[in-house]
Amino acid sequence: MTLEKENTQVKNVLDKVTILYAGDSGDGIQLIGNQFTNNTALYGNDLSTFPDFPAEIRAPLGTLAGVSGFQINFGNSSIFTPGDLCDVLVAMNAASLKKNLSRLKKRGTIIVNTAGFDKKNLRLAGIDPADNPLTNSSLEGFKVHEIDITKMTRENLKESSLGSKERDRCKNMFVLGFIYWIYNRSLDSTIDFLERKFKGKQEVLQANLKVLKSGYHFADTSETFSNRFEVKPAEMQPGKYRNIVGNQATALGLIAAAHRSDMNLFYGGYPITPASDILHELAKHKNFGIKTFQAEDEIAGVCSAIGASFGGDLATTASSGPGIALKGEAIGLAVMMELPLVLVNVQRGGPSTGLPTKTEQSDLLQAMYGRNGEAPMPVIAAQSPSDCFEMAYEACRIAIEHMTPVFLLTDGYIANGAEPWKFPSAEALKPIVLKVKDARAEEDAPYLPYKRNEDLVREWAVPGTAGAEHRLGGLEKDKETGNVSYDPENHQEMVKIRAAKVNRIAKHIPKQELDSGTTSSKLLILGWGSTYGSIKTAAKELQSEGVDVAHAQIRYIHPFPENLGEILSNFDKVIIPELNDGQLIKLIRDRYLIDAKGLNKIKGLPFRAQEIKEEVLNHLK
Amino acid sequence: MPEVLKEKEQKKLSAKDFASDQDIRWCPGCGDYSILKQVQSVMPELGIPKEDIVFVSGIGCSSRFPYYMNTYGMHSIHGRATAIASGLKASRPDLSVWIITGDGDSLAIGGNHFIHLLRRNFNVNVLLFNNQIYGLTKGQYSPTSELGKKTKSTPAGSLDHPFNPLALSLGADATFIARSIDREPKHLKEILLRAERHQGTSLVEIYQNCNIFNDGAFSTFTDKTNKKENSVYLEHGKPLVFGAELDKGIILDGFHAKIVSLKDDNVSIDDLWVHDETDRNKANILVRFFEDNATDADARPRPFGIFYQEERGTYEDSLSQQLEQEVELKGAPDLNKLLAGANTWKK
Ligand SMILES: Cc1ncc(C[n+]2csc(CCOP(=O)(O)OP(=O)(O)O)c2C)c(N)n1
Ligand code: SF4
Ligand SMILES: [Mg+2]
């Protein structure tokens, strides 16, 4: 494609731009969002995305409930969040404008498909047709570009043999082409994508290509926009990059850990939003010998994984709140049997079915304490889409090296969000030390499956190992033989040993670091998991405005890094922003006896940096 | 597969080699003892090294079983042995996996995993210890207790219609369905051998007397005086004959199984229903020989033996094949390629 070179218009150079694509869930919004993301990544910008879709697969057409959105923030320097407010809102119908107008900056740009503002669409959006926002003055102050995208798409495909529904489905390509022109992009990555997606469906392929190019040319010739914009590639650490979505990164982390430890990867699970994509991604790579097992429910998912772990596999499962609740009893069994097991909880709004497609961090205490009896296990959390890779890898490493189930917490926000990732080479991955028992002579003293090393880790003898036959189970075990024991002293000791074993993992995880600021800063913003980007952005902005704050993001929650207490002791004020009603704060107050203050957002949405800044400033008044 | 799984030398084992050093904690007189004994005695005949055998159980009196076997074992959680064994077998098709479960464990709390295990057809053996009661929790009725059962939790009698475990299994497309009983050791042993040899999930329902909470539940099939009148032992290719003097038989009249007397001049042994393990339709009729033999005068004798057996690919074989195909299709695994994905750029 050389289209962009023909153009002579002036370019406006911008530092960063936030675009929100919004439309009906049938409008193909996620697809163009992802296309634009890949294109932006290849162009060299840093970026962060936030897909936001309805819980219903086919919510009533044209309604507020059916609005699907995809926000992308891209720029010429580091980007950590999908952006608070947008510069550009693409609204394919009245409902999507109504729902998202409050997310647009003052004097922002709106691109509307006028066909989505007819009487019917207005009514479906709950707008009085006499009060059409396109004709009344409610959009004053915004730059509004009205295009009848539906009509132009039909016009383009007059000669196509496709049915009218299929033709109309191409209208998202018009928008994409249009935006590509505005941001001075090449169409190549999308042309490649369409050619792969519609291989063998020539009619559909040609229709999509035609409409894509037509959107591009329309932007060029219609002079809707007098200027094109350019966001220059970002300065990033040298290296090779790719674009990655959180759930995909989690799956790759599991695969990489299996590869590095020379183990077979087993995944047992049951579909649930927003965790299913981990299963989908793993199932794509069965040539790696990955055994994915779609079980009859979450209980069978985790139990099959426990069986596979007993058999010597790297066993994993993933789910979200409701499914994790079902797995609880079996996780306790894994704690008792001291077998490696990785559990990913892609958190979503709760309780109960809650807000399936919305994000939340409200399962931290469930991960910490959601089992009967004293059942401690390591809990770690990923802080960004690409960090899901590293933390999934870490979860496996800890599980294998310390013979324990491990919880990895991610959430809908980072699981579906994307960012550029400087991916590692296989050779650069941290080694994972797998020690399984060798065959032993029967005549030796009886095998002691619960004998421990200096880290209190017991030995892993898998079936097939002669001379090490032993029985595991959920009943309390004698501290060495592993035989059933009801001895009171033994029970107390075993409870303490299991706890100490998990605590000792602190020796084998990275020390806590400040992400920005210094230990003499006036206030520490302490976050965990997916709030990283928002807090980082807030902290940087505050610092550049002369406010002396520090930021630390916890990824290892149980056990905490050994030096966390020491870091905390430097600050008079600690604020803990969480997307829940206050969970990490309970752990911090309990452990370090400090008077940390919470900032809690429980709306199913990530923090805006602005919200964190305001809270910090309030505390420094 | 981990390094440790090296070539093994086979040595001759005896039943004693399969007994662990743990004291057995079942009540004296419990039917579980006899089942344990038969299982231990059948093990050496399988020719499988004991480190390659795994017993997985749920929770219940019967589920203590793995502790008494000197093999690998897991006494897991209530109802989930079937799910755990599925994962184990998927990961390690080389192992001989035995599931030990009770009527509550497999058909109440574990009912869901039970039917899914059967339809998937992992090559495992399920020994369902049916004592028609919850033993471990001290005597509540179970999903196999007869209607009107009076127990601690149902002093006025139970209200729910019981499961017919074999009909349920056939409905779930099990590929091997058999019934035996604790008091017929020879028969039990024979069935266990056949179960292990079957490629696929072998479901063996074993009537087991709980002499504490449900004593005599199966006395109609064990008491010397009438057991022969109340039970019929199935043998492939042989006619269905029963009775103390082997003087009764069963004929198939359309879909109806009728009891006939061989003393009757009009009936000869050649007229009788000949058992065919591979005939699913006949198995469907046989599993429905389920009347209450103690109270129902028209009851047909309760069948024991292998009701049905079919060859169907196992889950783990299909899985292995699929993994191989994927390598052919997508090439050998290359982690660096996977991490890079389809589109990369340099900075
Ligand atoms: C989740 C859970 N619920 C309940 C129990 C209590 N419980 C243990 S065994 C059992 C019933 C056992 O009956 P069955 O499976 O028939 O085994 P049996 O003891 O008769 O051999 C129950 C209800 C438990 N251990 N776990
Ligand atoms: S309670 Fe019944 S089933 Fe349990 S051990 Fe005693 S006799 Fe056996
Ligand atoms: Mg029972």
What does the alpha-carbon distance between residue A195 and residue A331 come to, in Å, rounded to a whole number? 45
| Token couple for A273 | 């939003």
Whether residue B60 has its Cβ less than 6 Å from ligand 1:
yes
Helix H or strand E segment including A218:
helix A202-222
Whether A237 is in a domain gets the answer no
Residue A1 has pLDDT above 60, yes or no: no
Q: Are residues A480 and A395 in the same domain?
A: no
Q: Residues of B with CB below 8 A from A193's CB?
A: none
Are B35 and B187 in contact by the 8 Å Cβ rule? The answer is no
Angle at A278 between CA A276 and CA A284, to 5 degrees: 110
Mutation test residue for ligand 1: of B134, B152, B206, the one with most atoms within 8 Å of CB? B134
**Nearest residue on chain B to A45, alpha-carbon basis:** B347
> What is the pLDDT, as a whole number, of residue A443?
65
What does the alpha-carbon distance between residue A43 and residue B28 come to, in Å, rounded to a whole number? 78
What does the alpha-carbon distance between residue A316 and residue A292 come to, in Å, rounded to a whole number? 9
What does the alpha-carbon distance between residue B50 and residue B28 come to, in Å, rounded to a whole number? 28
Of A169, A202, A229, the position where a domain reaches its end is A229
Of A398, A427, A456, the position where a domain reaches its end is A427
Are A193 and A28 in contact by the 8 Å Cβ rule? The answer is no
Helix H or strand E segment including A499:
helix A488-503
Q: Residues of A with CB below 8 A from B336's CB?
A: 425-426
**What percent of chain A has a predicted confidence (pLDDT) above 70?**
98
Whether A518 is in a domain gets the answer no
> What is the pLDDT, as a whole number, of residue A223?
73
Mutation test residue for ligand 1: of B78, B113, B128, B138, the one with most atoms within 8 Å of CB? B78
Residue A90 has pLDDT above 60, yes or no: yes
In this prediction the ipTM stands at: 0.96
Residue A9 has pLDDT above 60, yes or no: no
Whether residue B81 has its Cβ less than 6 Å from ligand 1:
no
What does the alpha-carbon distance between residue A279 and residue B240 come to, in Å, rounded to a whole number? 51
Atom of ligand 2 nearest to the CA of B214: 2
CB contact under 8 A, B87 and A483: no
Q: Are residues A277 and A412 in the same domain?
A: yes
Lowest mean pLDDT among A7-21, A582-596, B58-72: A7-21
- The answer to whether the peptide bond before residue A274 is cis (omega within 30 degrees of 0) is yes
Q: Are residues A254 and A354 in the same domain?
A: yes
> What is the pLDDT, as a whole number, of residue A3?
44
What does the alpha-carbon distance between residue A62 and residue A308 come to, in Å, rounded to a whole number? 47
Lowest mean pLDDT among A3-7, A287-291, B229-233: A3-7
Q: How far is CA B344 from CA A47, A80, A194, A268, in A?
A: 15, 20, 18, 31
In this structure, the strands spanning B248-253 and B256-261 are antiparallel
Kindly give the parts of chain B with pLDDT less than 50. Answer: 1-7
> What is the pLDDT, as a whole number, of residue A288?
97
Q: Are residues A397 and A475 in the same domain?
A: no
Average pLDDT, chain A: 95
Assign B23 to helix, strand or coil: coil
DSSP string, B304-343: EEEEEE-----HHHHHHHHHHHHHHHH-S--HHHHHH-S-
pTM greater than 0.90: yes
Domain boundaries, chain B: 27-238+275-317
What does the alpha-carbon distance between residue B244 and residue B226 come to, in Å, rounded to a whole number? 8
Closest CA to B343 of A241, A72, A249, A48: A241
CB of B7 within 8 Å of a chain A CB? The answer is: no
Q: Are residues A343 and A420 in the same domain?
A: yes
Q: Residues of B with CB below 8 A from A296's CB?
A: 83, 112-113, 116
> What is the pLDDT, as a whole number, of residue A6?
47
B265 vs A83, residue with greater confidence:
A83
A174 is in which domain, residue-wise? 11-229
CATH number, position A166: 3.40.920.10
Q: How far is A62 from chain B (nearest CA, A)?
A: 35
Where helices occur in A403-460 by DSSP H, the ranges are 412-416
Question: 3.50.40.10, 3.40.50.970, 1.10.357.10, 3.40.640.10: which CATH number matches B27-238+275-317?
Answer: 3.40.50.970
Each residue's pLDDT tens digit, A183-198: 999 999 999 999 999 9
B268 conformational bin, left if phi > 0, alpha if psi -120 to 50, beta if neither = beta
Whether residue B110 has its Cβ less than 6 Å from ligand 1:
no
Q: What b/e sequence results for A180-207 when a residue is b if at least 16 CB atoms lie within 10 Å of its CB, and e otherwise?
A: bbbbbbbbebbbebbeeebeeeeebbbb
CB contact under 8 A, A470 and B73: yes
Each residue's pLDDT tens digit, B290-330: 999 888 988 999 999 999 999 999 999 999 999 999 999 99
Whether residue B65 has its Cβ less than 6 Å from ligand 2:
no
Q: Are residues A264 and A214 in the same domain?
A: no
Residue A569 has pLDDT above 70, yes or no: yes
> What is the pLDDT, as a whole number, of residue A491?
98
Q: How confident is the model at residue A390 (pLDDT cuts 50, 70, 90)?
A: very high
Whether residue B102 has its Cβ less than 6 Å from ligand 1:
yes
Residue A269 has pLDDT above 50, yes or no: yes
Which residue in B59, B326, B335 is closest to A426 by CB distance?
Answer: B335
CATH number, position A388: 3.40.50.970
> What is the pLDDT, as a whole number, of residue A224?
73
Q: Are residues A248 and A340 in the same domain?
A: yes
> What is the pLDDT, as a whole number, of residue A228?
87
CB contact under 8 A, A464 and B323: no
Whether residue B131 has its Cβ less than 6 Å from ligand 1:
yes
Angle at A47 between CA A46 and CA A53, to 5 degrees: 170
DSSP string, B115-169: HHHHHHT-S-EEEEEE-SSBTTTTSB--TTSPTT--BTTBTT---SPPP-HHHHH
Q: How far is CA A572 from the centre of its chain?
A: 32
Report how far ligand 3's centroid is from the alpha carbon of B132 (Å): 5
Q: Are residues A28 and A177 in the same domain?
A: yes
Bridge partners of residue B96, in order along the sequence: B53
Closest CA to B218 of B285, B293, B288: B293
Of A168, A195, A229, the position where a domain reaches its end is A229
Whether A516 is in a domain gets the answer no
Mutation test residue for ligand 1: of B57, B80, B105, the one with most atoms within 8 Å of CB? B105
Q: Are residues A457 and A536 in the same domain?
A: no
**Nearest residue on chain A to B329, alpha-carbon basis:** A287
Q: Are residues A224 and A247 in the same domain?
A: no
> What is the pLDDT, as a whole number, of residue A5?
44
Q: Are residues A190 and A305 in the same domain?
A: no
> What is the pLDDT, as a whole number, of residue B1?
41
The total of structural domains in chain A comes to: 4
Whether A236 is in a domain gets the answer no
Whether A235 is in a domain gets the answer no
CB contact under 8 A, A466 and B94: no
Q: Are residues A444 and A416 in the same domain?
A: no
Please list, in sequence order, all residues whose beta carbon lies within 8 angstroms of the beta carbon of residue B1, skipping any fewer than 6 positions away. A264, A312, A464, B92, B94
Each residue's pLDDT tens digit, A432-474: 998 888 888 766 788 999 999 999 999 999 999 999 999 999 9
